[in-house]
């Protein structure tokens, strides 16, 4: 007979699984900087040089001495002699003195002794060697000085930081072409159920295609892991235990899809217990969808038993599996989520004592972001396909109401 679930809150479930793996991390590998997007840095990086390495113009115009432009206006311009041009991509030996200017370009060096750049829009050519300046500039205006962006020993990237496009650009600018990053955790995905057939099969009446393997695999990749689909296994203890035991040899996380419902065929708990101590950490979360979720730990590897219903499986995987993947990579913020605010367009009833997660579709309404609930049963995957994100209804609430501002967790 199946045991009754002892429900814990989603927060307690998250804390429980993350606390159980604080000392468990994947290894480190070296990758090329351009290939490091989304990876987690395993060491801190500091600049060994300054950036930029020279004073440069931030606009097209003329290198000048600011004092030579003071008082300039349309009615009373200042006249300067153009003594040359600063070529792009080359060091210049051109030096200006009182009453002189040099043609300069965005990103190029300043002429020697210049302390500012007047934009070309505020100049007029009088002849080949003379310009009139119609607007004064202050010292340092339109100039990026050497070392203004980065100085020696500035921290460029901290350990545990998730690498973004701008990080790759900054590192490349400093000549840091390789990075030590966390390896990608390998996640075994084991689908169970007598009714399941492969996605390539033509299901008979009573059978369904296994879609959780594909949705969970995609979520794993999105989180930065490597999905390792093990296959579909019948509701037989020995088959499932063998699959999990073999997966433990090569993978960092074991995920079961289905098999976690309270029923006579509840084998996931039995399998998790057989894999090693401590075994089961929790069975049951006060959440809808996803109540029969199982959490475990064996041989220093986290175990997650997802409900079989597609929506439930994906909601729980987003809630628990994603942060586990990020935590194993030593991410300093494994619970980070891309979230936006929106106005709810309809009431969402809920039962106090559990957290509800409801898919919503986002729409622009005259510059205001609206969130419209997409209601559906937990076995209907297209409720997620039709939505852009999900909102949380707190356990101490009787629901959310039309017009409320809600936080939408984006997929």
pTM attached to this predicted model: 0.87
Provide the 3-class DSSP secondary structure of residue 185: coil
Count CB atoms within 10 A of the CB of residue 328: 26
Confidence class for position 305, pLDDT limits 50, 70, 90: very high
| Measured distance CA(290)–CA(308) in Å, rounded | 9
Q: What is the average per-residue pLDDT within 83-98?
A: 96
Token pair belonging to 93: 């030996």
| Measured distance CA(140)–CA(107) in Å, rounded | 15
First and final C-alpha spacing in the chain: 37
Token pair belonging to 55: 């004073």
In percent, the amount of the chain with pLDDT more than 90 equals 90
Q: What is the average per-residue pLDDT within 181-190?
A: 98
Confidence class for position 380, pLDDT limits 50, 70, 90: confident
Alpha-carbon separation of residue 286 from 312, 352, 400 (angstroms): 13, 10, 18
Per-residue pLDDT tens for 30-80?
Answer: 999 999 999 999 999 999 999 999 999 999 999 999 999 999 999 999 999
Per-residue pLDDT tens for 309-325?
Answer: 999 999 999 999 999 99
Q: What is the pLDDT at residue 264?
A: 35
Q: What is the pLDDT at residue 3?
A: 58
Confidence class for position 260, pLDDT limits 50, 70, 90: very low
H or E element at residue 151? none
| Measured distance CA(225)–CA(229) in Å, rounded | 12
Q: What is the pLDDT at residue 376?
A: 86
In percent, the amount of the chain with pLDDT more than 70 equals 97
Q: What is the pLDDT at residue 265?
A: 47
| Measured distance CA(107)–CA(226) in Å, rounded | 41
Confidence class for position 5, pLDDT limits 50, 70, 90: confident
All domains of the chain in start order, with CATH: 10-27+183-328 (3.40.980.10), 29-50+156-182 (3.90.105.10), 56-144 (2.170.190.11), 339-410 (2.40.340.10)
| Measured distance CA(276)–CA(298) in Å, rounded | 5
| Measured distance CA(46)–CA(154) in Å, rounded | 5
Q: What is the pLDDT at residue 2?
A: 54
Beta strand pairing status for 301-306 and 294-298? antiparallel
Look at residue 266 and tell me whether its pLDDT is greater than 80.
Answer: no
Per-residue pLDDT tens for 230-251?
Answer: 999 999 999 999 999 999 999 9
Q: What is the pLDDT at residue 263?
A: 53
Q: What is the pLDDT at residue 259?
A: 53
Look at residue 96 and tell me whether its pLDDT is greater than 90.
Answer: yes
Confidence class for position 91, pLDDT limits 50, 70, 90: very high
Q: What is the pLDDT at residue 1?
A: 45
Look at residue 339 and tell me whether its pLDDT is greater than 60.
Answer: yes
Contact 62, 118 (CB under 8 A): yes
Q: What is the pLDDT of the chain when averaged over all its residues?
A: 94
303's torsion region: left (phi>0), alpha (psi -120 to 50) or beta? beta
């Amino acid at each position: 007979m199946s045991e009754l679930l002892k429900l814990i809150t989603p927060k307690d479930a998250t804390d429980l699984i993350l606390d159980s793996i604080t000392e468990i991390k994947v290894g480190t590998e070296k990758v090329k900087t351009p290939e490091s997007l989304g990876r987690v840095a395993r060491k801190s990086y500091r600049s060994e040089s300054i950036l930029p390495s020279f004073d440069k113009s931030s606009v097209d115009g003329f290198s000048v001495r600011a004092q030579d432009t003071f008082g300039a206006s349309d009615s009373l311009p200042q006249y300067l002699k153009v003594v040359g041009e600063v070529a792009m991509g080359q060091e210049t030996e051109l030096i200006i003195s009182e009453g002189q200017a040099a043609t300069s370009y965005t990103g190029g060096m300043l002429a020697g002794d210049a302390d500012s750049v007047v934009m070309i829009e505020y100049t007029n050519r009088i002849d080949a060697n003379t310009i009139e300046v119609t607007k004064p500039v202050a010292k340092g205006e339109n100039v990026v000085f050497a070392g203004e962006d980065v100085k020696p020993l500035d921290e460029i990237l901290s350990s545990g930081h998730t690498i973004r496009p701008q990080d790759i650009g900054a590192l490349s600018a400093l000549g840091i072409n390789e990075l030590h990053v966390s390896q990608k955790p390998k996640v075994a995905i084991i689908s169970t159920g007598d009714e399941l057939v492969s996605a390539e099969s033509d299901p008979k009446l009573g059978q369904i295609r296994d879609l959780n393997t594909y949705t969970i695999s995609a979520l794993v990749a999105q989180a930065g892991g490597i999905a390792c689909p093990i296959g579909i296994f019948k509701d037989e203890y020995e088959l499932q235990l063998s699959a999990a035991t073999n997966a433990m040899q090569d993978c960092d996380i074991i995920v079961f899809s289905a098999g976690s419902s309270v029923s006579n065929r509840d084998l996931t708990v039995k399998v998790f217990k057989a894999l090693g101590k401590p075994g089961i950490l929790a069975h049951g979360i006060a959440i809808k969808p996803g109540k029969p979720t199982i959490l475990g730990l064996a041989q220093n590897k986290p175990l997650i038993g997802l409900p079989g219903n597609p929506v439930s499986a994906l909601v729980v995987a987003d809630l628990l599996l994603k942060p586990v993947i990020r935590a194993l990579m030593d991410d300093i913020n494994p619970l980070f989520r891309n979230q936006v605010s929106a106005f709810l367009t309809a009431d969402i009833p809920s039962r106090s004592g559990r957290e509800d997660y409801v898919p919503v579709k986002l729409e622009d309404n005259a510059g205001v972001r609206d969130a419209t609930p997409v209601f559906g049963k937990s076995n209907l995957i297209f409720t997620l396909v039709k939505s852009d994100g999900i909102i949380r209804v707190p356990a101490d609430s009787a629901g959310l109401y039309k017009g409320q501002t809600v936080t939408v967790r984006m997929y």
